[in-house]
Chain A
Amino acid sequence: MVEALKTEEEIIRICTFLIEGKTYGVDIKEIQEVSNEIVLTPIKHAHVAVEGYANMRGEIYLVANLRTILGFKKNENNTENRIFYLKNHAGENFGFIVDKVGDVIDVENSQFENKGNMNSVKEENSSELRQGVCYVGNKIITVLKAKAILENINF
């Protein structure tokens, strides 16, 4: 029993996605839903990263583009894009668009490395957004703090 709990604490389940060909992920416990339906109402005068409002099961969610938050150039939405809707404790009625959804992977705490700048997150944002970096097979995954994504949209 004690062994089982210890294992659960040591393993983090990560939902991965791609931004500019690089793999990122967030703790699956922070995610409410991943949706391929991208119908947005633009909001004039909002932050440059804000894509608009979306209706997610009757609730209005603010949706931002994670590319912009991470400092990448904005590109046209395509069919591979997805919206990651976060649970309320991670971001009040908030979701973000990613280029492409990836796999759900289990990562042990010991696999995380916080050294260096092996991710593509801009230096000024990285410390706030990055939870850690891990190697899974031949992939480098930058795990983001879900809560920090909304906090990073500063007006």
Chain B
Amino acid sequence: MEEIVVKPMHSKLKNIKLFAGATVRGDGKVSLILDAEGIASHANLNFETKEEDHLQQEALQEDENRYLVFQNFSQDYFAIPLEQIRRIERVNKNQIKKSNRLNYCNIDNQALLILNLDREVELKDIEEQEPFILLPQDSAFAFGLAFWKVEDIVNLNLSSIQEADIQQKIFWKEQVVQLVQFSDIQELYDESQADNILVLGGE
């Protein structure tokens, strides 16, 4: 490696963006120093920006289409958008306690209401000793969604499916997968509370 002193281009050549400057070499000859950005600009190439934009858009699209596929305790399949998930915890079944017919668990020093997508199965009766608890990214109240098994994280192109609905179903690996969103679960919970009838996780 050799250090060189690069002198700026002559004022009459400032409009030539191809060169960053010039230097006198050891043999006395003058060498021009190329400017990669200037060459790209001269050739009207904006490939970096376009490529970055393209990658960013692709990443955004991928994020929008990525879903967590999981099974509840009745082994039904569900899918929830990955961007709506804050994190997934595993808790010991014994940590889930009942209060006024509702299940709660201590996560992050908070009594988290645990909802279950199973109507028939009681959390205390499940075989799984360490069920998964899915924590939402944003929600009006603190709750977690209990489930049995993580299946996969998949890209689902749902552009053909109409407005989101908790009843939406798609086929994935020959299984019927119900698409859910935390907002739907929350609405269901709110309705059940209003009627004083617990639909999710009730006895």
Contact = CB atoms under 8 A, between A and B. Distances in A.
Interface of A: 39-41, 43-47, 50, 52-55, 58, 60, 62, 92-94, 150, 153, 155
Across the A-B interface, the 3 shortest Cβ-Cβ residue pairs = A53-B30, A62-B10, A41-B30
B33 to A, nearest CB: 11
Given A58-B24, A60-B7, A46 B30 contact: no
Interface of B: 7, 10-13, 15-16, 18-19, 22, 24, 28-32, 42
Nearest to A42: B32
B15 A155 contact: yes
A43 B28 CA distance: 17
A46 B32 contact: no
- Chain B, interface SS category: mixed
Given A60-B7, A62-B10, A62-B12, A43 B19 contact: yes
- Chain A, interface SS category: loop
Contact of B12 (A55, A58, A153): A153
A62 B31 CA distance: 13
Given A44-B18, A53-B22, 5 more contacts: A41-B30, A52-B30, A53-B32, A62-B10, A155-B15
B102 to A, nearest CB: 76
Contacts of B31: 41
Contacts of A39: 28-29
Contacts of B28: 39, 55
Contacts of B16: 43-46
